[in-house]
């Protein structure tokens, strides 16, 4: 089933195979007709679907990378969305970082370094709290020894 509107085409496709009874819905700003890809034979897949399938390699790679190192946690939906965005930001930033041949960090070390950079100011500020538990103070000092030195001055 197709829907057409302001330079967008919506397609809803239900595969005929018995193993996959899942409706596929796609929106395209590139396809503007209800053309069926002939090479799919009796399946009669819309060209929009076959084009997406031929170009979705990047989506699969990102899903695989996010699956290996993920910030996701079981939580309420706003946090779930935030963690999903954080996962994608980590993948995208690492791709940019790794594009420079001088950068040598592996992905997990890169993510850890970025996390520490994001946490540094907050943790150093927490050292200013007088009643901060000793165990927490010790752990922050272990992560940021220079912060402990600045506090003593």
Q: What is the pLDDT of residues 77-128, one digit of tens each?
A: 899 899 889 999 999 999 999 999 999 999 999 999 998 999 999 998 998 8
Alpha helices, DSSP H only, in the chain? 47-55, 57-68, 77-99, 107-126, 134-143, 145-152
Average pLDDT over residues 36-57: 81
Residue with tokens 């993948």: 91
Q: What distance lies between CA 14 and its chain's CA centroid?
A: 28
Give the count of domains, the chain. 2
Q: Dihedral (C-alpha) 102, 104, 108, 109: value to the nearest 10 degrees?
A: -100
Domain identity same for 119 and 45: no
Domain identity same for 39 and 65: no
pLDDT attached to residue 17: 67
Domain identity same for 51 and 73: no
What range does the domain containing 96 cover?
A: 59-152
pLDDT attached to residue 16: 72
Residue with tokens 């309420």: 76
Domain identity same for 23 and 81: no
Domain identity same for 80 and 7: no
């Amino acid at each position: 089933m197709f829907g057409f509107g302001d330079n967008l085409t919506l397609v809803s496709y239900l595969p005929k195979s018995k193993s996959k009874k899942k409706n596929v819905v796609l929106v395209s700003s590139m396809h503007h007709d209800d053309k069926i890809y002939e090479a799919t034979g009796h399946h009669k897949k819309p060209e929009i679907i076959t084009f997406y399938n031929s170009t979705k390699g990047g989506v699969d790679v990102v899903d695989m990378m996010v699956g290996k190192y993920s910030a996701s946690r079981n939580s309420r939906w706003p946090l779930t969305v935030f963690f999903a965005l954080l996962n994608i930001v980590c993948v995208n930033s690492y791709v940019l970082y790794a594009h420079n041949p001088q950068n040598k960090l592996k992905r997990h070390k890169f993510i850890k370094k970025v996390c520490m950079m994001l946490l540094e100011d907050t943790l150093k500020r927490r050292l200013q709290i007088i009643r901060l538990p000793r165990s927490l103070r010790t752990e922050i000092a272990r992560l940021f020894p220079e912060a402990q030195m600045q506090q003593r001055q």
